[in-house]
Amino acid sequence: MKEKGRKVIATNKKARHNYSILDVYEAGVALLGTEVKALREGKASLVDAFATVDDGEVWLRGLHIPEYNRGTWTNHEPRRTRKLLLHKREIEHLVGKTREGNLTLVPLSMYFVDGRVKVELALARGKQLHDKRQDMARRTAEREATRELGRRIKGMRG
């Protein structure tokens, strides 16, 4: 799937359901050669992934990139911690935001841009169960409204 010159590798579908997204950043990822080859095959999982800020560096944890099937003893560990590449100003902003409130860093998607692997990282706040229910009810109401509008335009109901 290509959007604006980027080839999406993996998306975290549950992230927008479980978190309220406040801000989005694009970060590069420091990878090994076999990891890039495995990603080119479209194999990655962001399901349990999250990011932390340690000693002024941002680390992506829980990202699963399976071993490259044609790799040898140089193959990578599937769930190793990977460094995210951000500007110093962005890192300082993230440190301030994560310390001030109960905010987390969640990867939304992983994609290629001009041959480089990028991660869309979101500064997010966890949703409570009632927030999730409100969002589902709102989406259902919007869907019903657009469906009804479409019916009226087509002349099915008067």
Read off the pLDDT of residues 67-100 as tens digits, 9 standing for 90 and up. 776 666 677 667 788 888 889 898 888 888 787 7
pLDDT bin (cut points 50, 70, 90) of residue 39 is confident
| Model confidence, pTM | 0.68
Q: Give the CA dihedral 33, 36, 37, 39, nearest 10 degrees.
A: 160
Q: Which two tokens stand for residue 149?
A: 């509008």
